[in-house]
Amino acid sequence: MAKKKQSLFEDITQIASKLPWQTSLILAIAAYVGFHYVAMMPPAPVQPGAANIAPTLTGVLLRTTSSILQYVVPIAVTLGAIVSVFKRRKQTALHNTVAATPSRAEVT
């Protein structure tokens, strides 16, 4: 069966949901700080000439992408942390139920 195609946002959320929620929150904060740092970097001075346009446009593209990702990535990772909390609660409840139930060997 073919795997359902997911967006990058869903992939990030799924990866973060497999981590402990504390780790996901630390990653969310680190992602925000890192992308915010890049987004707030001052632009390099523009030098005239066609040969200097590539570095200028690369810097603009990098800062613009970082200014968007500084919000998107932490939101995705935080959603993954929330999913991780609910998964962990469900697993704990299941474990407690199974631990409290006598096994077949004890019953017979």
pTM over 0.85: no
Buried b (16+ CB within 10 A) or exposed e, 57-79: eeeeeeeeebeebbeebbebbbb
Is residue 71, in this structure, part of any structural domain at all?
yes
Quote the domain boundaries for residue 60. 8-40+54-93
Q: 75, 84, 76, 89: which is closest to 21 by C-alpha?
A: 84
Number of domains in the chain: 1
Is residue 108, in this structure, part of any structural domain at all?
no
Task: Give the pLDDT mean for 75-95.
Answer: 92
Per residue in 24-57, pLDDT tens?
A: 999 999 999 999 999 998 887 777 777 778 888 8
Is residue 47, in this structure, part of any structural domain at all?
no
Is residue 21, in this structure, part of any structural domain at all?
yes
Is residue 31, in this structure, part of any structural domain at all?
yes
Is residue 49, in this structure, part of any structural domain at all?
no
